[in-house]
Amino acid sequence: MRFKNGVCNVSQIQSSESKWCPFAVTGKDLAKNNFMLAILLAMIIVFSFIPGFLTFHNLVNIMAQGAVLSVVTLGMTIALIAGKFDLSVGSIISLTGVLSIGLQSFMGLPLSLLVTLLVGLAVGAVNGVLIGFLGADALIVTLGMLSVVGAAALLYTNGATLSGNSHAFTSLTQSSWAHIPTLVIYPIILTILAHLVLRHTVFGRKIYFVGDNAKASILVGIKPRRVIFTVFLISALLASIGGILLSSWVNSASPVAGVGWELNALAAAVLGGTSMFGAEGRMSNALVGALIFSVISNVIVLLKLPVVYQEIVEGIIIVVAVAIRRGRVN
């Protein structure tokens, strides 16, 4: 295994101490965190000359867009750390978004949200079984689920956009504290929880091991199939939460609302320094990466550029990240 602090034994994997060899916070980790924050700050300074960028309303929009993207990016980052992709998150956002509003008229808000999350988990379970236990390719499986789940969202609404009429539902994200919407609180809480799981639990360390070398992880007592299955459950759950938050924020749900979000999350994760080849990534950087991507998207809108430019930026980010990573390996 390629951990720079040496090969770890079984007792170190099973230890609950935070000083376990590969995952102690190093000077390199802190430097990467500071570098990402410096990039974000530099972008804000440069873009401040664009009319309307530094207005309070626009900054709130950036935080709101970044909040939903951050939640989805957390799940994508965890999947990437495990050495996998989850391209189904876009359709999960669409399906859970329409379900969170559509089911309210039948079963009330609390139960509708619970059922919505269970549906999202069911999609993740299918991905996990096919990829984790049956060994299917993650790219092919999640790409197929992207189409299947997206079609399910369209069938559920007959292609129509659903409008919300529940104050309790919109208050989940639109209530504010000091003029800051509560929507921005969710990614912060989830980022902290994800960080604690990945850095301070046995399961989190297993994810890194599986992402580094799934076959070798078996030799130290890890069951990679179970780890991969759980990773896709987590990714689907976070995408489902993202779909609910998005619908609550805009008080409506479109069956195509999540189209393209899988690439947004992937680009944001890569911007945050997550490797596309496994075993490398941090939750705090995923949050910053999502904010950087949201700033870029916002600037494209302010400059009244075609949306296609956002897709170009996404592609460049992913291609450059792969090229840099391959260069390091070579």
3-state secondary structure at position 180: strand
pLDDT band at 326 (very low <50, low <70, confident <90, very high): low
Which of 278, 272, 266, 273 shows the shortest CA–CA distance to 311?
266
Which of 273, 236, 36, 286 shows the shortest CA–CA distance to 117?
236
List alpha helices for the chain, DSSP H: 10-14, 27-47, 56-81, 89-102, 104-128, 138-157, 167-174, 185-200, 202-212, 214-218, 224-250, 261-271, 283-302, 308-329
The Cα 210–Cα 78 span in angstroms is 11
317's tokens: 């980010």
The Cα 212–Cα 281 span in angstroms is 12
pLDDT band at 254 (very low <50, low <70, confident <90, very high): very high
Tell me which residue has tokens 């792969």.
322
Please provide the size of the chain in residues. Answer: 330
- pLDDT tens per residue, range 260-294: 999 999 988 988 888 888 888 889 888 988 998 89
- pLDDT tens per residue, range 28-76: 555 556 777 888 889 899 999 999 999 988 988 899 889 999 999 999 9
Q: Is the sign of the CA dihedral 312, 316, 318, 319 positive or negative?
A: positive
What fold, for 55-325? Answer: ABC transporter involved in vitamin B12 uptake, BtuC (1.10.3470)
